[in-house]
Amino acid sequence: MKTFVLLSVPAGIMAVGIGVALAGVRAPTPQALWQQVQTLQKNHAIMPESHPFQVGSRTVDAFTTDLANAAAVHSIRMAGGIIKVTRYAQDSLLVKDNYNQERKLTGVTAMLKLPGYDASDRNWVMAAYKPNGTLVAYGKVGTCIACHVMVRHQDFVFAPPPKQLLSVNTWKAFFPKQVMNPVYVSLIKEHPQAIVR
């Protein structure tokens, strides 16, 4: 019988050992998920409606690139676009690579759809890594969920800017110690209809 340990951290649940279980469903280890992330990065698996080095909302991630595995791409294509997806397929993996002004990777976030994992939050395993794969947060990460629930009708997945944007006030509520990317602020002014309400 394999064993695992759960450690609570302020940002969510971090796994150590074999895996993480929530509601009796075992998620992959953070290291196994990181390997899946790296495969998408190596294959330049750009998410539909996204493009490399699109505008990020913070100065620390002035640019982002969204990646998606085949299950997520299929969900987007079958629905006719990210905004039209109401449920992503099992094992969908969505990744956001975050880059600074010099286009140097500063962090990676990921969402893995794992049916039965956490039904109250649409069964997403959330993860955040440093560029070298060091784990920052993993599992049911409250700070991630609190923001992504704003697009619950899209199964917690935001469309890339400028298709969807956070208002300045909403953004500041989630990132009070960060500085907004001036280009993102310009997009908010140019595309007020794209602000998530």
Q: Residue 53 is part of a domain; what is its CATH number? A: 3.50.70
Residue 182 within a domain = no
Per-residue confidence (pLDDT) for residue 23, from 0 to 100? 54
Scanning the chain, the segments in alpha helix (DSSP H) are 30-42, 70-79, 142-148, 168-174, 182-190
DSSP label at 15? E
> What is the spatial distance between Cα 97 and Cα 66, in angstroms, rounded to a whole number?
6
Count of structural domains, the chain: 1
Residue 187 within a domain = no
Per-residue confidence (pLDDT) for residue 156, from 0 to 100? 96
Residue 116 within a domain = yes
Residue 175 within a domain = no
Identify whether the C-beta of residue 68 lies closer than 8 Å to the C-beta of residue 159: no
Residue 178 within a domain = no
CA dist 123 → 119, 147, 175 (Å)? 5, 15, 24
The percentage of residues in the chain with a pLDDT greater than 70, rounded to a whole number, is 88
The percentage of residues in the chain with a pLDDT greater than 90, rounded to a whole number, is 80
Question: Which residue segment(s) compose the domain that 77 sits in?
Answer: 4-157
Q: Report which of residues 24 and 106 the model is more confident about.
A: 106
Residue 183 within a domain = no
φ/ψ of 178, rounded to 5, equals: -100, 165
